[in-house]
Amino acid sequence: MSIRLAVPDSVCRGFRFAGRQAPTLAPSAAAMRRRRRLLLLSPLLVLLPGAACAAPALMATPAQMLGPFYPPQPDVRAGSDLTTVDGKGRAQGKPLTIVGRVLDTAGRPQAGVLLEIWQTNAHGRYHHPHDNSPQPLDPQFRGYGRATSGADGSYRFLTIAPVEYPGRTPHVHFRASRGTRELLVTQMYLPGAAGATNERDGLFMSIRDPAARRALLGLPEPGAPNTLRFDIVLEAAR
């Protein structure tokens, strides 16, 4: 099994320095301390061939269009459960739990991020006044939810599996914000449609990089039926 060791940048620079031709001037005290650290670390690095000087940055989640069906007046009282309106009945469709974490590209959890999601009901219709689809509305499906990421960046939604409708593969819209600042608008796609409708979806396929497209797929959560994990990676603050 390969083991990776995170090595400080200063030490990495020392390794790069060590591979160059020695300077003619006497080394400084700082250089001598750096060399001593290298000598102490070198036996460990030899034993760990998978060691790396720095962990690679996470890929930022690609942005996607807001679309025409974001609620005209988002319900600030909406919670993270989209499957009921009155707390008694349940929405039609296959239950789906979406879990994940909000991180930055350095892997740091982002707490206090407001996440909003909206999607079609089990018939392929949005709960929106401008959706003129002939498909029926579901009075027990809220169609919109919101949650705030926790101290570890985690969030959770209870919804139903979205379905395709003319021109679009199944997807869930996401919007991330903090205060009045919008951080990201994107969409999560279902992995089960990867070999079918996803590849015929113009918006999904407009992302040319296959790795970036994979970042928009919800992934089955091991040991949790009907659950997809969708981690959201935001550009690190500069």
Q: pLDDT grade, residue 197 (50/70/90)? A: confident
Decide: helix, strand or coil at residue 161: coil
Are residues 109 and 151 in contact, defined by beta-carbon separation less than 8 angstroms? yes
Q: Is residue 77 a part of any domain in this protein?
A: no
Rounded distance between C-alpha atoms, residue 178 and residue 117, angstroms: 15
Q: pLDDT grade, residue 120 (50/70/90)? A: very high
Q: Is residue 65 a part of any domain in this protein?
A: no
Considering its fold, how many domains does the chain have in total?
Answer: 2
Rounded distance between C-alpha atoms, residue 187 and residue 189, angstroms: 7
Rounded distance between C-alpha atoms, residue 164 and residue 118, angstroms: 14
Q: Is residue 74 a part of any domain in this protein?
A: no
Q: What is the CATH number of the domain that holds 152?
A: 2.60.130.10
Q: Is residue 188 a part of any domain in this protein?
A: yes
Comparing 192 with 235, the larger pLDDT belongs to: 235
Q: Is residue 48 located within the same domain as residue 146?
A: no
Q: Is residue 131 located within the same domain as residue 207?
A: yes
Q: Cβ neighbours of residue 73 under 8 Å, at least 6 residues apart?
A: none
Mean pLDDT of 168-196: 91
Q: Is residue 62 a part of any domain in this protein?
A: no
How many whole angstroms from its chain centre is CA 221?
14
Q: What is the pLDDT of residues 76-99, one digit of tens each?
A: 999 999 999 988 889 999 999 999
Q: Is residue 122 located within the same domain as residue 202?
A: yes
Percent of the chain with pLDDT over 90: 70
Helices 29-47 and 9-18, axial angle in degrees (round to 10) = 90
Q: Is residue 131 a part of any domain in this protein?
A: yes
Mean pLDDT of 10-16: 43
Q: Is residue 47 a part of any domain in this protein?
A: yes
Residues in the chain: 238
Q: Is residue 217 located within the same domain as residue 102?
A: yes
Q: Is residue 115 located within the same domain as residue 203?
A: yes
Q: Is residue 106 located within the same domain as residue 52?
A: no
The parent domain of residue 34 ranges over: 1-56
Rg (CA), the chain: 24
Q: Is residue 89 a part of any domain in this protein?
A: no
Residue 180 is predicted with a pLDDT of 94
Query: What mean pLDDT value characterizes the chain?
Result: 84
Residue 5 is predicted with a pLDDT of 45
Comparing 35 with 183, the larger pLDDT belongs to: 183
Q: Cβ neighbours of residue 57 under 8 Å, at least 6 residues apart?
A: 105, 106, 236
Q: Is residue 117 located within the same domain as residue 221?
A: yes
Mean pLDDT of 9-30: 46
- The structure's pTM equals 0.77
